[in-house]
A and B are shown apart, each in its own frame.
Chain A
Amino acid sequence: MSNSVNPADIHKTMLDQQKSEHRRRLILNLVLLALLMVAPMVMYPVFLMKILCFALFAVAFNLLLGFTGLLSFGHAAFLASGAYTTGYLLTTFSGLSTELGIIAGTLVATLLGLGFALVAIRRQGIYFAMITLALSQLVFFFFVQSSFTGGEDGLHGIPRGQFLGLIDLNDNLNMYYFVLAVFLAGYLLVQRIVDSPYGQVLKAIKQNEPRAISLGYNVNRYKIIAFVISAGLAGLAGSMKTVVFQLASLNDAHWHMSGEVILMTLLGGTGTLLGPVVGAAFVVNLEYQLSQGPLADWVDAILGTIFVLTVLMFQSGIVGQVQKFMKKNIG
């Protein structure tokens, strides 16, 4: 028995590994935070806010695709319901403080997410994707026909208002730090969820659902909760976006938007915390650069090409590739 390994030793090594990984992640997060704090000094704050809103959207989406293995093709519905709710409330009730409008938008998206989850959970895999897509189209029609959304025109001139009645959000720098704070809260929440025992069960479901069932987990309940959290955070992203740009439009609700968030997540790296953030920054930036140049009309075709290339050549995404590279060369 000279070769036998003491289980306690294994456990200790695993804990050590986890500890060093956490430390590395903490350092990385702090570096990023520092960068984001000084970013508006060198870059246009509104552009950065756009990236942060989409990053939060993609982080929320990744909780499903990357950590639970569920592909939702209807996340535009949550982004848009958050956006429209906040936009409608802030326009209609002048004097309503901004954070209440945002909370309301998040709540509506969360409830809508619960509705979606209860329906879509009844099928798996690609059916799940088709059902969420169909449901989001239903929501799209609702927004087209409703009067409170402004139909094809959308909502314009939504007041940014004041945060807690104290901080004037019309100032872009104030607005930026507000968006940054909300983004960080959402990001850390997802990080906390992924690390928690609940998150471990989600990962187990992703890896082997039948085994998770046989271990006695109520898989559907776990999935529904993950879906609802993801929808709520997506709604939060939509609400923030509305306040930043002071408009809400049908673009947010279109299936195209659901495709875009998938691309951001996939390109950045599914199943990594930072991946969706990197992907969102990349896609938003790319779209901006393209819209300025001669290829402005080719955005869709180029996004499609990136989709195809990512699926064919690097499914682990940018962050996934970097992680692989680090593991191989640094250990």
Chain B
Amino acid sequence: MSMILGVPVAVLFGQLLLGLINGAFYALLSLGLAVIFGLLKIINFAHGALYMLGAMATVILFDTLGISYWAALFVAPILVGCVGVAIEYFLLRKIAGQDHIYSLLLTFGVALIIQGVLTNMYGVSGLRYSMPDVFKGGMNLGFMFLPYYRAWVIVIALLVCFGTWFMIEKTKLGAYLRAGTEDSQLMQGFGINVPLLVSLTYGFGVMLAAFAGALAAPIYSVTPVMGSHILIVVFAVVVIGGMGSIAGAIITGVLMGVVEGLTKTFYPPASSAVIFLVMVVVLFVRPSGLFGKEA
């Protein structure tokens, strides 16, 4: 068997694939954070909890109502998106315009509530979700084995990321959004319903998180605490990429997943720390982040 730097090729590609999948999740989550940050200027600390809610919803919808995986990919994000809109409308709106620290703390409180309630209802050991039959198995690419589901996750996650980028950068709705980011008062003056736009933006960012959760349900263990660790990693990803650009958030997310995968291949003990270490280095070399505009 051929080796690269003392590592079998199949192992290397296997870890790269896992890295790409993690990267796809980082990309979806940091994209959602960036979309929300753009218009609301807040860091959504509840993002991890809402990602978890998306995964839990997918499992619970199947167990109780028999809703299939394919339907859940739409239903779960919509349901969780509604939760998001409610959070924005009933809570975040009340403290709009105050120091951003408060919105961060508010969403942190919301995350504790969601996580606490679900832990009570379902315990921390997690729920089981069986993969749809279509995705069972995989194909042999010669140098590695590619499970179908993992291939699907990468493709669909990148498609959704690209779709979001396209919507924000190339459509009229996206233009409103970007204009709102620049000067929301002026937008209001032009007759755009900015409060509605804010609600929908938050809801959309939350939907991206829930969609990631639904995608994660068949491959990760679905537990009420699954969101908290990944959120911290995604925060580091966001610091590395800077929140200046949509494309930047996506690229950094995928890149960091790959870096993590490579570390797992060559020096496993550092794999859970590597993204944080990259963050430290980036902060010294380029404090505003790889794609950041602001200081």
Q: Which residues of A contact B (CB under 8 A)?
A: 71, 119-120, 122-123, 125-127, 129-131, 133-135, 137-138, 141-142, 145, 255, 259, 262, 266, 297-308, 311-312, 315
Given the complex of chains A and B, what is the CA–CA distance between A259 and B108 in angstroms? 8
List 7 additional A-B contacts (Cβ < 8 Å) besides A122-B283, A130-B235, A299-B116: A138-B277, A142-B273, A259-B112, A297-B120, A303-B109, A308-B110, A315-B98
B293 surroundings in chain A (CB, below 8 A)? none
B284 surroundings in chain A (CB, below 8 A)? 119, 122
The 10 closest A-B CB pairs, nearest first, are A307-B109, A304-B112, A301-B116, A300-B116, A304-B113, A308-B109, A134-B236, A138-B276, A122-B287, A130-B235
Contact B116 A123 (CB under 8 A): no
Contact A307 B105 (CB under 8 A): yes
Residue from A131, A297, A308 in contact with B283 in the complex, judged by beta carbons closer than 8 Å: A131
B102 surroundings in chain A (CB, below 8 A)? 311, 315
Size category of the B interface is 35 or more
Per-position 1/0 for B268-279, Cβ under 8 A of A: 010011001101
Given A123-B239, A123-B287, A305-B109, is A129 in contact with B91 using a C-beta cutoff of 8 Å? Answer: no
Contact A304 B116 (CB under 8 A): yes
Q: Least Cβ distance of B244 to chain A in Å?
A: 12
Given A122-B283, A137-B232, A304-B111, is A266 in contact with B105 using a C-beta cutoff of 8 Å? Answer: yes
Per-position 1/0 for B248-271, Cβ under 8 A of A: 000000000000000000000100
Given the complex of chains A and B, what is the CA–CA distance between A129 and B103 in angstroms? 12
B117 at the interface (CB under 8 A from A): yes
Contact A311 B109 (CB under 8 A): yes
A255 surroundings in chain B (CB, below 8 A)? 228, 232
B112 surroundings in chain A (CB, below 8 A)? 259, 300-301, 303-304, 307
Residue from B95, B276, B287 in contact with A137 in the complex, judged by beta carbons closer than 8 Å: B276
Q: Least Cβ distance of B232 to chain A in Å?
A: 5
A134 surroundings in chain B (CB, below 8 A)? 232, 235-236, 239, 276, 279
B4 at the interface (CB under 8 A from A): no
Q: Least Cβ distance of A60 to chain B in Å?
A: 18
A129 surroundings in chain B (CB, below 8 A)? 43, 101, 104
**Would you list 11 pairs from A and B whose C-beta atoms are within 8 A, ordered by A residue?**
A123-B239, A123-B283, A126-B101, A135-B280, A262-B105, A303-B112, A304-B109, A305-B109, A307-B109, A312-B95, A312-B106
